[in-house]
Amino acid sequence: MDLFDDLPLEPDALRTEVAPGAVLLRGLARSHEGALLAALQGVQAQAPAHHLQTPGGYTMSVQTTSCGQLGWVSDRHGYRYSATNPSTRTPWPALPDSFATLAAEAAAQAGYPGFVPDACLVNEYAPGAKMSLHQDKDERDLRAPIVSVSLGLPCVFQFGGLQRNAPTQRLRLAHGDVLVWGGPTRLAFHGVLPLADGHHPLLGRKRVNLTFRKAG
């Protein structure tokens, strides 16, 4: 059985409200993909992605890097934002204009005008990589939304409630889809099920997730 066989069919409309304050914008990033992938290559050349360690000593299955004024890091000392890359002790790559433009456009279409991210977390998933349920709560300003862009292989994204044990809905996120959440669901638990193997014509055997935040 295909991993997505049990998922409900999504409406064909570009904009779908999946929960109060949470909006799925299907295919929005596809018209930006050339600029996004070129910028992504530049970011990863300056700050290669690598597997972070959790405060509990586990190694994350995804590889991670960042760009913008702040980058998200994790190690035995905890989860936090840093103005410098711990691997190089240099500032993170600047947030590419194409990244910022898409993030602002997506936020506005989802009902959050004026969004100006200062951090972009870049997560790279190989087949089998996953992200357990968690909240994005390390940001100082929780009034700003989260803007999450999917590139490459499709994934099954879990979107839940404000408690870890709340029911979750499964969303199939494909290349170019953008999920935005804020307001009453800003601290919703969310995660990614193990990535199914496959081949994307532009990114090969991987999924890349760009998560834009107002961290500082």
Write out pLDDT tens, residues 55-108.
888 999 999 999 999 999 999 888 999 999 998 999 999 999 999 999 999 999
Strand blocks (E) in the chain: 15-19, 22-25, 63-68, 71-75, 78-82, 84-85, 90-91, 119-125, 131-134, 146-152, 155-159, 169-173, 178-181, 190-192, 207-213
**Exposure class string for 29-47: b at 16+ Cβ within 10 A, else e:** beebbeebbebbeebbebb
Residue 183 has pLDDT above 90, yes or no: yes
Query: DSSP characters for 175-208?
Result: TT-EEEE-GGGTT--EEEPPPPP--BTTTBS-EE
Per the structure, the complete domain to which residue 103 belongs is given by 15-213
Give the pLDDT of residue 2.
Answer: 41
Task: State how many domains the chain has.
Answer: 1
**Residue 8's pLDDT band (boundaries 50, 70, 90)?**
very low
- pLDDT score for 76: 86
pLDDT score of 5: 39
What pLDDT is recorded for position 118? 97
Q: Examine residue 9 and state whether it is found in any structural domain, yes or no.
A: no
Q: pTM of the entire structure? A: 0.93
Q: Does 1 map to a domain?
A: no
CATH number of the structural domain spanning residue 146: 2.60.120.590
Does residue 82 form part of some domain? yes
Instruction: Tell me, yes or no, whether 6 lies in a domain.
Output: no
Residue 4 lies in a domain: no
Residues 119-137, mean pLDDT to the nearest whole number: 97
**pLDDT at residue 10 greater than cutoff 80:** no
Residue 3 lies in a domain: no
- 130-156 pLDDT, tens digit per residue, is 999 999 999 998 999 999 999 999 999
For range 13-28, the mean pLDDT: 93
**Residue 200: strand pairing partners:** 204
In a domain, 7, yes or no: no
pLDDT, position 134: 96
In this prediction, residue 77 carries a pLDDT of 86
pLDDT given for residue 91 in this prediction: 97
Give me the pLDDT at residue 160, please.
97
Residue 32 has pLDDT above 80, yes or no: yes
Q: Averaged over 97-125, what is the pLDDT?
A: 98
